[in-house]
């Protein structure tokens, strides 16, 4: 029987930080994030704070009643100092991952004067608490261990900005580990996929995506487009795997 599923086009940015990330601007609060994404014609965002999921629910609540879909996520720093985007279908899955990360996060106090504040906020952006443990540090789980744990929770594991010298996979490891069957890598916004494959031949067989790695409201990129049935992580996974006519491309 012919597949008659109707596919729609959605623009996405799957790498967004909030004010709990110490490197993010103070304007990266839920209502302003939602407004900025919508103003740029973006339909799907993922909240990916450093080693934290504390503000994901607040951004989801801020987006209620709008056309914006907010995917729960995190940008985790593995023991090798590799940054990885971890995305989940449901907030509860992300919270479970957050608990695992907390158990493997060193007990180092944040120095706000040096690293920046780490604010937990509600959906209006009002202050709830400060995260006192430093989030800009590596957890005690390796790249492979992190991959396995994220997959066991049903999540999607995407090495972040792999071409960057700071916390990029190629600089830190020199290669994509063969024991972690990854098919999608993120490159930074400052290089084209074609140029990235020329500079880093070890990634030429992988699918490449680009996000804004948004730390300021002006950073939204929205260059990642999906042709999927509806905005969800399960549909995005199918697009990355080219299943049932789903696909993605960079504009």
- Please name the residues in contact with 165: beta carbons below 8 A apart, sequence gap of 6 or more: 171
Dihedral (C-alpha) 246, 248, 172, 78: value to the nearest 10 degrees?
-50
Counting DSSP H helices and E strands in the chain, the numbers are 8, 11
Q: Give the pLDDT confidence of 116-165 residue by residue, as tens digits.
A: 999 999 999 999 999 999 999 999 999 999 999 999 999 999 999 999 99
Q: Give the pLDDT confidence of 126-135 residue by residue, as tens digits.
A: 999 999 999 9
Domain boundaries, the chain: 8-250
Q: Could you tell me the pTM of the whole model?
A: 0.96
Q: Which residues pair with 187 in a beta bridge?
A: 210
The CATH architecture of the domain made up of 8-250 is Alpha-Beta Barrel (3.20)
Kindly state the DSSP code that residue 135 receives in the 8-state scheme.
Answer: -
Torsional sign, CA 46, 48, 53, 58: negative
């Amino acid at each position: 029987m012919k597949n008659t599923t109707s596919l729609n086009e959605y623009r996405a940015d799957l790498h967004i930080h909030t004010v709990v990330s110490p490197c993010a601007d103070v304007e990266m609060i839920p209502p302003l994030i939602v407004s900025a994404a919508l103003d740029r014609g973006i339909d799907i965002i993922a909240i990916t704070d450093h080693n934290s999921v504390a503000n994901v629910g607040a951004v989801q609540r801020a987006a209620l009643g709008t056309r914006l879909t907010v995917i729960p996520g995190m940008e985790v720093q593995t023991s090798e100092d590799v940054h990885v985007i971890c995305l989940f279908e449901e907030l509860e899955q992300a919270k479970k991952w957050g608990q695992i990360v907390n158990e493997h996060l060193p007990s180092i106090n944040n120095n706000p004067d040096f690293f920046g504040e780490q604010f937990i906020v509600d959906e209006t952006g009002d202050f709830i608490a400060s995260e006192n443990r430093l989030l800009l540090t590596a957890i005690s789980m390796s790249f492979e261990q992190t991959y396995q744990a994220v997959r066991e929770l049903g999540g999607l594991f995407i090495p972040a900005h792999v071409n960057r010298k700071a916390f990029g996979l190629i600089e830190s490891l020199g290669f994509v580990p063969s024991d972690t069957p990854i098919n999608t890598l993120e490159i930074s916004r400052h290089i084209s996929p074609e140029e990235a494959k020329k500079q880093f031949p070890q990634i030429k067989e992988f699918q490449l995506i680009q996000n804004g790695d948004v730390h300021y409201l002006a950073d939204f990129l929205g260059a990642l487009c999906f042709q999927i049935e509806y905005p969800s992580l399960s549909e995005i996974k199918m697009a990355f795997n080219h299943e049932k006519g789903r696909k993605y491309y960079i504009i």
